[in-house]
Amino acid sequence: MSKRNQTLGEFIIENQNSFKYSSGELSKLINSIRLAAKVVNHEVNKAGLVDIIGAAGDTNIQGEDQQKLDVYANDKFIQTLTKRNIVCGIASEEEDDFITINSQDENHQNKYVVLIDPLDGSSNIDVNVSVGTIFSIYRRVTPLGTPVSIEDFLQKGNKQVAAGYVVYGTSTMLVYTTGHGVNGFTLNPAIGSYYLSHPDMQFPEDGNIYSVNEGNYLDFPLGIKKYIKYCQEDEGERPYTSRYIGSLVSDFHRNMIKGGIYMYPKSTKNPKGKLRLLYECNPMAFIAEQANGKASDGFNRIMDIEPTELHERVPFICGSKNMVEKAEEFMRNN
């Protein structure tokens, strides 16, 4: 039984046997993410004091400017996972292609691949607003001991074995699921340990917060426009309010606690949506469903989408079940 204030380390050990293929490997993997997140957290907290704010001068494969902290976080997660030799492959928002680990070693028995958004919401770094990290973990589908291939990464979200995020907010939290509910751990920076502060997190079935970049309103599909109008109409019973941070992790985290819906629909500027299926939408969808919420592209369950490329984008509607279903109804009927 998990106990409030248990450390993340204790929690991982205690719950190891509930993993489907318990061998300790997944526990070690989550442990390394916890460690890398602590290092990144330290750097994020210092932003402003050291020369870590601003653009790195490069763009990633998706044409987005990389911030120095994007590059730093990417390096830290990749180094930690590679050095500790626990995964066979990594895909990241900041890497053009996936990374193969120990492909030369036939005895290499690691079975997990990780997909990661090392720093989410990076446009918020310069202004001291919450950012995050998102991760998604799968068992490889190609044989052990061979180099990983693209099929290991292009798996449907419903095959995830674990997923989580770190929010570097007013306090730093790690929230994750291995398919047995969602638990949130808060970092005590004085001690350097994460403690179980939010056991068994659940989206309220209904909520009153909608989170969307309304600057793109004119370009949204009609169904979304009408849903936004529905949220804005005040009939006394639906006092909806709008909250949008611009960091998926932070917007999602708030909505999971308070009840709400997050939307990044397609638009003329982003005809396929903006968020990436594999390392943003699928992990958040897994967490949402494990917390009694819902995630959809407007018509279909996010986790049932067959991925075709590493960095593909998808429209994303996620949050409290009744709110997502209402938005889907508007999409279907318009």
The residue ranges that bind Mn ion (CB under 5 A) are: 93, 117, 119-120
32 annotated ligand-binding residue:
no
- Using CB under 6 A, pick the residue from 26, 44, 87, 248 that binds ligand AHG: 248
Q: Which residues, in sequence order, are CB contacts of 6 under 8 Å at separation 6+? A: 14, 195, 196
Query: What secondary structure does DSSP assign to 230-250, as a single string?
Result: HHH---SS---EE---S-HHH
213 annotated ligand-binding residue:
yes
Q: Which residue has the tokens 């999971």?
A: 256
Q: How far is Cα 218 from Cα 162, in angstroms, rounded to an integer?
A: 37
Q: Residue 147 interacts with ligand AHG (CB under 6 A)?
A: no
Q: With respect to Mn ion, which residue has the nearer C-beta, 117 or 152?
A: 117
Q: Which option in Mn ion, ligand AHG, none does residue 71 bind, with CB closer than 5 to 8 A by kind?
A: none
- Using CB under 6 A, pick the residue from 29, 37, 113, 117 that binds ligand AHG: 117
Amino acid identity at 315: P
Does residue 147 sit in helix, strand or coil? coil
Q: Which of 103, 119, 109 shows the shortest CA–CA distance to 47?
A: 119
Amino acid identity at 61: I
123 annotated ligand-binding residue:
yes
Query: What secondary structure does DSSP assign to 72-105, as a single string?
Result: HHHHHHHHHHHHTT--SEEEETT-SS-EE-STT-
Q: Residue 32 interacts with ligand AHG (CB under 6 A)?
A: no
Q: Residue 121 interacts with ligand AHG (CB under 6 A)?
A: yes
Q: How far is Cα 169 from Cα 136, in angstroms, rounded to an integer?
A: 21
Q: Which of 148, 133, 119 shows the shortest CA–CA distance to 56?
A: 119
Q: Which option in ligand AHG, Mn ion, none does residue 259 bind, with CB closer than 5 to 8 A by kind?
A: none
120 annotated ligand-binding residue:
yes
Q: Residue 246 interacts with ligand AHG (CB under 6 A)?
A: yes
The answer to whether the CB of 221 falls within 8 A of the CB of 284 is no
Least Å distance between CB 98 and ligand AHG?
A: 17
Chain residues 64-93 in contact with ligand AHG, contact rule CB under 6 A: 64, 93
Q: Which residues, in sequence order, are CB contacts of 42 under 8 Å at separation 6+? A: none
Q: How far is Cα 329 from Cα 230, in angstroms, rounded to an integer?
A: 12
The answer to whether the CB of 155 falls within 8 A of the CB of 307 is yes
- Of the candidate spans 39-47, 156-164, 244-252, 300-308, the one that interacts with ligand AHG by CB under 6 A turns out to be 244-252
Q: Residue 253 interacts with ligand AHG (CB under 6 A)?
A: no
The answer to whether the CB of 186 falls within 8 A of the CB of 171 is yes
Q: Which option in Mn ion, ligand AHG, none does residue 213 bind, with CB closer than 5 to 8 A by kind?
A: ligand AHG
The answer to whether the CB of 33 falls within 8 A of the CB of 135 is yes
121 annotated ligand-binding residue:
yes
- Of the candidate spans 10-18, 240-248, 281-289, 306-314, the one that interacts with ligand AHG by CB under 6 A turns out to be 240-248
Read off the DSSP letter of residue 35.
H
Q: Which option in Mn ion, ligand AHG, none does residue 246 bind, with CB closer than 5 to 8 A by kind?
A: ligand AHG
Size of the site for ligand AHG (CB under 6 A): 11
- Using CB under 6 A, pick the residue from 247, 255, 282, 296 that binds ligand AHG: 247
Least Å distance between CB 132 and Mn ion?
A: 8
119 annotated ligand-binding residue:
yes
Main-chain dihedrals φ then ψ at residue 237, nearest 5 degrees: -90, -20
Going by the annotation, the residues of the binding site for Mg(2+) are 93, 117, 119-120, 280
Residues that bind ligand AHG (CB under 6 A): 64, 93, 117, 120-122, 213, 246-248, 274
Going by the annotation, the residues of the binding site are 93, 117, 119-123, 213, 244, 274, 280
Going by the annotation, the residues of the binding site for substrate are 120-123, 213, 244, 274
